[in-house]
Structure 1
């Protein structure tokens, strides 16, 4: 081939460009025809398989009838409650004190003065006088009730210190290695409502036995919640709550005491600012005590922060759908896309309470068991 033949003339080059253009147009046309045929189901690749047609939403969820519960979490403190000073009227010198954290029950020694025990008994009336045969009063009944609980029999629990009571007291004194006189000295007994836990030693051995020697709390753990007056409406005696523990578990609780409102302070007065993530923090005006019946469920936990959940609102046996199923309608309000064998339709609904990812709904034609569309 000559050099002239290897170089196309301008005429030949134009002809080849038109051919290429024509072939490109044919290819494009073939592609369009094939696509159209596939769309119309007239053949082409994949024409033997039916084409999926979307007749409803990507996913569906049932319309359920259930109880919706909205809970609120407030900050609390697990512990043994406020410490109370223990005042002794004994003479002499302190020769023994219980360890901090020790639990003292009815009949146990709270301390020793001159090596003689000062005993804890249960009651609300303080020991304000010595008790001897012939004494009458409610303090006698309280003391006799304790003797009976400790196992000393043969006495009648009433308001009269009888000869039988004297005999029981002598047996009690002998068991405590005290002088057997039959007379209960005023300094020998300290009353508390129930078992106590020693919180702090206020004196050392060798100190005078008269005065405030210890502080104590109850022996049962409880939760204290400090709340502002505006957020304490939930706290009614007997209200059930759930206490979330730092160990990851939870335990049931019951509101047992609601304190009287107290004047709140400011941050400048030493009060902490409120934490918006944990209602119940900040300036406290009301103290709520929550009793924990299952003390074993608390394990070895001592004083520690906890979260307290209470039911703020409840709607029983209402129709609900997932929150994601709600549609904002162009004309205003909400709707849901009800799906079924006949296809999908939009039903206008009224939205009520929201809780746990679901919403209360009501609307004409809406019933339990229907399915509604939700996005995937």
Structure 2
């Protein structure tokens, strides 16, 4: 069927309404007179149409993790929750000895000492230099100068001057970290972790229903409603690629979600809110200045595609575009702004 063609003769259309289908016959010429009772009408309107949805999210910080601890002894000092630690700062202390933060992407997985070489040595040298010590050439070889810089650093921060570095002295992160939670209070044995850290970037996490993935586009703008009612702008910065099954009372619900991360505008005034519930208004796409009708006005045509029944009984075929906010974008011959179309009566 060509766009805008009027149905003539005897045809069948199915009215899409409320998730069900009510079938009725069209008889006579030029659409004829409907056998069904008179329906209510709605206007074809022109406006901007956007596919949006409000979902629940949690405002927090990026990169939450339980920081591995390799120091043995009794936790003697911890920082306050919410504290930010930068390169060279201590994260917590065990038996009076600090565990120091250094930047990088290679964990301290071995003891670094004279004659060692590799990218982890280069990372150590880079950090020592940034902290004001001279490790010699930053080349990945643990030289005599590297050992001397290590001893000077150890003396300044309160570590034994061994000239060797291992995981009991240093923890590695990609940048500054925030102490989100203290998991080992002073006076308790140091376990597998003493603190939970996050990055310093504020983000919103959303467990998005897999059925709504059309709304999850990296870079798409969103608005976030904070607990106090204020709204801030943000953008989708990450979308998970693995669907996680949803369980209730230990049993699968048959539903699934994907992880969604929203980065908020740098100018947003968020105070110290952490793990706070928020509402995220997602938007997939927007079509400007289009004609639309209520979704329930659509007819599924026997010949294929969709149509509209104009007030008076004539049925026209239409092309559909964006579905959003209970409306659908329509175009085709006979589709004009202000025209009345039939919709199911209430």
Mean alpha-carbon deviation: is it higher for 151-160 or for 249-258? 151-160
Q: Which moved more, 1:92-101 or 1:350-359?
A: 350-359
For structure 2, list consecutive stretches of 5 or more residues without a partner in the other structure: 1-44, 295-307, 341-346
Match of 1:303 in 2: 275
Which residue of the partner structure matches residue 4 of structure 1? Answer: none
Give the corresponding residue for 1:252: 234
Pair 1:294 & 2:266 matched: yes
Which 5+ residue runs of structure 1 have no aligned equivalent? 1-62, 274-281, 335-347
Gap change, CA 1:156 and 1:308, over 3 Å in 2: farther
Rg larger in 1 or in 2? 1
- CA pair 263-352 structure 1, distance change in 2 beyond 3 A: closer
The secondary structure found in structure 2 opposite 1:89 is: coil
Q: 1:231 aligns with which of 197, 212, 216?
A: 212
Give the SS at the match of 1:264.
Answer: strand
Taking the TM superposition and a 5 Å limit, the aligned residue runs for 1:146-295 are 146-153=127-134, 155-246=136-227, 247-265=229-247, 267-269=248-250, 284-294=256-266
| Matched residue, 1:77 | 58
Point out the more displaced range, 358-367 or 85-94: 358-367
For residue 231 of structure 1, give the secondary structure of its aligned residue in structure 2. Answer: helix
Q: 1:232 to 1:356 in 2, by over 3 A?
A: closer
Q: Classify the secondary structure of the residue corresponding to 2:269.
A: helix
Secondary structure at the aligned position of 1:254 is classed as strand
Alignment TM-score, normalising by the size of structure 2: 0.67
Alignment map for 1:129-144 (pairs within 5 Å)? 129-144=110-125
Q: CA deviation at 1:116?
A: 1.7
Residue 68 and residue 170 in structure 1: after superposition, are their counterparts in 2 closer, same or farther (change >3 A)?
same
Tell me the equivalent position of 1:340. none
2:67 matches 1:86:
yes
Aligned-partner SS, 1:134: coil
TM-score norm. by structure 1 comes to: 0.62
* Pair 108,332 (structure 1): closer, same or farther in 2 beyond 3 Å: farther
What is the number of equivalent residue pairs in this alignment? Answer: 283
Pair 1:332 & 2:304 matched: no
- Distance in 1, matches of 2:115 and 2:265, equals 42
> What is the Cα deviation at residue 96 of structure 1?
0.6
* 1:111 paired residue among 68, 92, 95: 92
* Residue aligning to 1:31: none
Which secondary structure does the structure 1 equivalent of 2:233 belong to? Answer: strand
Residues 62, 200 of structure 2: 8 Å contact kept: no
SS across alignment from 1:126: coil
Q: Does 1:123 align with 2:95?
A: no
